[in-house]
Amino acid sequence: MCHVAWEVVCRPKELGGLGIIDLRRFGQALRLRWDWVRKVDPNRTWINLPSSSDKATRALFRAATMTVVGDGSSTLFWQDSWIHGCCVDQIAPAVFASVPWAKAMIRSMASGLVDHAWVSDITGAQTVQVFLQYLDPWERVRGVQLMLGVPDSVIWRWSADYKYSAALAYGAMFIGSTSPFGAKLIWETRAPPKVRFFF
């Protein structure tokens, strides 16, 4: 039995790995596609079925996307990244924690802005921290103007055309990794493949 450092082996070649696909990460990148299709093509027949995304996939989707608000009908007030690329959870975590999960999953921008209905969603403990953090979303919401007849759009941050692709989603999971010196040059040498593989 050979022991293999899979964390290293499954890195891309330019990051010092062998370029073998990490199936766990690639599976997560493929699952992101379902969340992407839910946002960009709401006419699919299966859209109303419950989402089976796990917490990590939802967090990755929120980090990878940004919502441009139009009429506000398809943007979720509490879940989507509509505040300059951030979501409410990132700028006011105490306020977000005071909102019941059921409300957070259905409140749209359009319904939330009517008579400040989003404020009534905050039903948790009214601590000092909640009050202090409440001011930031309040100021940002005041600057939002809905445009009737203009649909909301979702942007994939990590591609030039702002559209999802599994390859880009998989590659984004290595953002922040450091490349060992000479890792890319090894694969460009004229040495036999087994020598490059060993190095």
Task: Quick: pLDDT tens for 15-72.
Answer: 888 889 999 999 999 999 988 998 888 888 887 787 767 888 888 888 899 999 999 9
The pLDDT value recorded for residue 42 is: 81
Residue position matching structure tokens 């990148």: 29
Query: According to the model, what pLDDT value does residue 1 have?
Result: 67
CA–CA distances in Å: residue 110 to residues 31, 63, 137, 153, 171: 28, 23, 16, 14, 34
Q: Return the pLDDT at 197.
A: 82
One-letter amino acid identity for 133? Q
pLDDT at 111: 92
Instruction: Please say whether the beta carbons of 165 and 159 come within 8 A.
Output: yes
Domain extent listing, the chain = 1-69+152-199, 79-143
Residue with tokens 């979702």: 154
Secondary structure (DSSP) of 112-138: HHGGGGGGGG--S---HHHHHHHHHHH
DSSP for 46-103 reads TTTSPP---HHHHHHHHHHEEEEPSSSSS-BTTTS--BTTB-HHHH-HHHHHTS-HHH
* pTM score of the predicted model: 0.75
Residue 99 burial class via C-beta count within 10 angstroms: exposed 0-12, middle 13-18, buried 19 and up: buried
Q: Across all residues in the chain, what is the average pLDDT? A: 88
How confident is the model at residue 78, as a pLDDT?
92
Residues paired with residue 155 on neighbouring β-strands, in sequence order: 66
Burial class (CB in 10 A: 0-12, 13-18, 19+), 169: buried
Whether the pLDDT of residue 142 is over 90: the answer is no
Give percent above pLDDT 70 in the chain.
Answer: 98
